[in-house]
């Protein structure tokens, strides 16, 4: 596949597929609860509807409120361009891009939290504060996982790592532990149960939903779309870590991400949301798992 068509496939995958994942999760949860559930395409319809609406802005807000969703969506899209979805080398791949991957997620979050505080609402302030606390704990866990994979594969770019993993045995302790930690990070980053309940209707218990109470119309569409894209990007990463050789095979990669979404739906159906003080234990646990994974990876390479 030439570089240009690879880029085109990557962009199409990254823009078209994401809303399918929340739809799939919703469907799985409905089935598990014995309901038939909304259509798989419901998130697409929601986005379409929001894009055709006007908007209401609080009299308190400034330009930061509008910048939040736009930067968040742009940063998530760029993070997606660092994954080798369509070719063995991602469009933006370079040695050390795993740091950029994490930092882009951080940038989107920074501006989304600022946008939440822009409204002056205490509910949104509370949600932003929780988001800040959780993400500060999730970030080291994510980097521990990426460091583990870098050590195991001997590469420093996400493309190199995911390509290099293909030639390693599928089941090693380091890889299993890293996948477990990455799964926990995925649930936290995407505001899924047991960290956060996307379906909650009580403002006091919201985290991600609480931050966007005042957003409406196209801004809300951008936020929902960015959330779906982040879910897709992290799911694709997890799928590629578990199953070697997904890199550069777009249909397989997409299928892997969808399977992860199904598993997330199953997890959401089977577990209850953690009490807020427990969440940090969950996240510290993820970091500990990541640290053990790193130790296992180093041990496997003969380092004491």
Partner 1 sequence: MSLVAAALSLGALGALLSGLLRGRPGAGFFAGLLACAVGAGAGLDLLLRGETAGVLIPWSPPFGALAFGADPLSSFFLVCVYVVGGLSLLYARGYFPRARAGAALAWMNLLIAAMAVVVIARDAITFLVGWEVMFATSWLLVTFDDEDAEARAAGFTYLVASHAGVVLVLILFGLLARHAGSLRFDAFVAAGAPPGGLATLCFATALAGFATKAGLWPVHGWLPQAHPAAPSPVSALLSGVMIKLGIYGLLRTLTFLGPPPAAWGLALLAIGGLSALAGVLLAIAQHDLKRLLAYHSVENVGIIALGIGVGILGQATHAPAVVWAGYAGALLHTLNHGLFKGLLFQAAGAVGTNAGSRDLEKLGGLLRRMPATGALFLIGAVAISGLPPLNGFVSEWLVYLAALREGMLAAERGTAAASLVVVPLLALVGGLAAACFVKVFGVAFLGEPRTPGAAAAREAAGPMRAAMALGAVACVAIGIAPRAALRLVAGPAAALSGTAIVSADQSLAAGLRAIPLSVALLVACTLALLAARRWLLRGRAVGAAPTWDCGYVQATPRMQYTAASFASPVLDPFEGLLSVQAHREDPQGYFPSAARDERHIGDPGEALVRRVLRAIVFTLSPLRALQRGPVQLYLLYVFLALLALLLWQVPS
Enumerate residues 76-95 that contact partner 1 by CB under 8 A.
77-78, 81, 92-95
Supply the DSSP symbol for 62: -
Of the pair 42, 216, the CB lying nearest partner 1 is at 216
Please give the Cα distance from 4 to 204 (Å, whole number): 47
Q: How far is the CB of 302 from partner 1 (least distance, A)?
A: 4
- Which of 70, 176, 259, 274 contacts partner 1 by CB under 8 A? 70
Q: How far is the CB of 264 from partner 1 (least distance, A)?
A: 23
Q: How far is the CB of 217 from partner 1 (least distance, A)?
A: 7
- Is 234 a binding residue for partner 1 by CB under 8 A? The answer is no
- Is 224 a binding residue for partner 1 by CB under 8 A? The answer is no
The two tokens of residue 33 are 């609860």
For partner 1, the binding residues in 146-175 under the rule CB under 8 A are: 147, 150-151, 154, 156
- Is 235 a binding residue for partner 1 by CB under 8 A? The answer is no
For partner 1, the binding residues in 193-222 under the rule CB under 8 A are: 203, 213-214, 217-219, 222
Dihedral sign, CA of 158, 160, 164, 166?
A: positive
CB contact at 8 A, 232 and 25:
no
- Which of 11, 30, 42, 123 contacts partner 1 by CB under 8 A? 123
Supply the DSSP symbol for 272: P
- Which of 51, 170, 270, 271 contacts partner 1 by CB under 8 A? 51
Is the peptide bond prior to 67 cis by the omega test (within 30 degrees of 0)? no
- Is 7 a binding residue for partner 1 by CB under 8 A? The answer is no
Q: How far is the CB of 65 from partner 1 (least distance, A)?
A: 8
| Site mask for partner 1 (CB under 8 A), range 259-278, x = bound | -----------------xx-
Report CA Rg, the chain.
Answer: 19
DSSP of 88-117: SS-TT--TTHHHHHHHHHHHHHHHHHHHHH
Q: How far is the CB of 36 from partner 1 (least distance, A)?
A: 32
Q: How far is the CB of 155 from partner 1 (least distance, A)?
A: 9
Q: How far is the CB of 190 from partner 1 (least distance, A)?
A: 17
> Which helix (H) or strand (E) covers residue 144, if one does?
helix 122-153
- Is 302 a binding residue for partner 1 by CB under 8 A? The answer is yes
- Is 114 a binding residue for partner 1 by CB under 8 A? The answer is yes
- Alpha carbon separation from 99 to 67, 123, 187, 198, 268 (Å, rounded): 23, 32, 20, 28, 29
Match 């290099």 to its residue by tokens. Answer: 164
Please give the Cα distance from 35 to 70 (Å, whole number): 35
């Amino acid at each position: 596949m030439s570089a240009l068509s690879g880029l085109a496939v990557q962009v199409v995958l990254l823009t078209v597929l994401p809303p399918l994942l929340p739809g799939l999760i919703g469907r799985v949860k409905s089935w598990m609860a014995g309901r038939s559930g909304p259509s798989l395409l419901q998130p697409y319809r929601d986005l379409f509807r929001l894009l055709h609406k006007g908007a209401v802005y609080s009299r308190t807000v400034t330009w930061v409120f509008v910048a939040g969703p736009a930067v968040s969506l742009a940063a998530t899209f760029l993070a997606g361009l660092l994954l080798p979805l369509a070719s063995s080398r991602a469009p933006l791949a370079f040695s050390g891009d795993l740091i950029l991957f994490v930092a882009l997620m951080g940038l989107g979050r920074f501006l989304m939290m600022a946008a939440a505080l822009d409204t002056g609402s205490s509910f949104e302030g509370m949600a932003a504060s929780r988001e800040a606390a959780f993400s500060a704990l999730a970030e080291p866990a994510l980097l521990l996982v990426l460091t583990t994979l870098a050590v195991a594969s001997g590469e420093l770019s996400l493309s190199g790592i995911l390509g290099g993993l293909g030639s390693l045995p599928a089941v090693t302790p380091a890889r299993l532990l890293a996948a477990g930690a990455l799964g926990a990070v995925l649930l936290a980053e995407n505001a899924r149960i047991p960290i956060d309940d996307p379906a909650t209707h009580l403002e006091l218990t919201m985290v991600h939903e609480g931050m966007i109470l005042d957003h409406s119309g196209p801004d809300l569409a951008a936020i929902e779309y960015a959330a779906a894209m982040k879910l897709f990007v992290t799911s694709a990463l997890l799928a590629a870590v578990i199953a070697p050789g997904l890199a550069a095979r777009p249909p397989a990669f997409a299928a892997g991400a969808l399977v992860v979404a199904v598993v997330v739906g199953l997890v959401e159906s089977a577990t209850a949301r953690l009490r807020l003080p427990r969440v940090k234990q969950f996240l510290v646990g993820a970091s500990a798992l990541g640290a053990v994974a790193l130790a296992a990876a180093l041990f496997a390479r003969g380092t004491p």
